[in-house]
Amino acid sequence: MDSCGCEPEGFTSIFDRRNAEDDRDRYRRKGPDRTTRMLLELLAPYRATSSTVLDIGGGIGIIDQELLKSGLGHAVLVDGSTASLAVAREEARRLDLDDRMEFVEGDFVKLAAAIEPADIVTLDRVVCCYPDAEALVGGSAARVRTVYGLVLPRDRFMVRIAIRLENLWFRLQRKAYRAYVHPTARVDEIAAANGLHPRAERHTAFWRVIVYDRLAA
Provide the CATH number for the domain around residue 99: 3.40.50.150
Cβ atoms within 10 Å of 113's Cβ, excluding its own: 8
Element (H, E) at 104: strand 101-105
pTM attached to this predicted model: 0.93
Residue 6 covered by a domain:
no
For residue 187, the model assigns a pLDDT of 98
Pair 76, 118: CB distance under 8 Å: yes
Residue 188 burial (C-beta neighbours within 10 Å; 0-12, 13-18, 19+) = middle
In a 3-state reduction of DSSP, which class is residue 127?
Answer: helix
| Structural domains in the chain (count) | 1
Residue 1 covered by a domain:
no
Residue 54 covered by a domain:
yes
User: pLDDT by residue (tens digit) across 118-168?
Assistant: 999 999 999 999 999 999 999 999 999 999 999 999 999 999 999 999 999
User: Does pLDDT of 82 surpass 50?
Assistant: yes
Residue 69 covered by a domain:
yes
Q: Where are the beta strands (DSSP E) in 100-174?
A: 101-105, 118-124, 144-153
For residue 45, the model assigns a pLDDT of 96
Range of the domain at 175: 11-213
Pair 129, 106: CB distance under 8 Å: no
Residue 51 covered by a domain:
yes
Residue 3 covered by a domain:
no
Give the number of C-alpha atoms closer than 13 A to the C-alpha of residue 2, restricted to the C-beta side.
32
What is the mean predicted confidence (pLDDT) over 40-50? 96
For residue 15, the model assigns a pLDDT of 85
Residue 4 covered by a domain:
no
Residues 110, 161: Cα–Cα separation, whole Å = 30
For residue 9, the model assigns a pLDDT of 52
Residues 210, 204: Cα–Cα separation, whole Å = 12
Residue 2 covered by a domain:
no
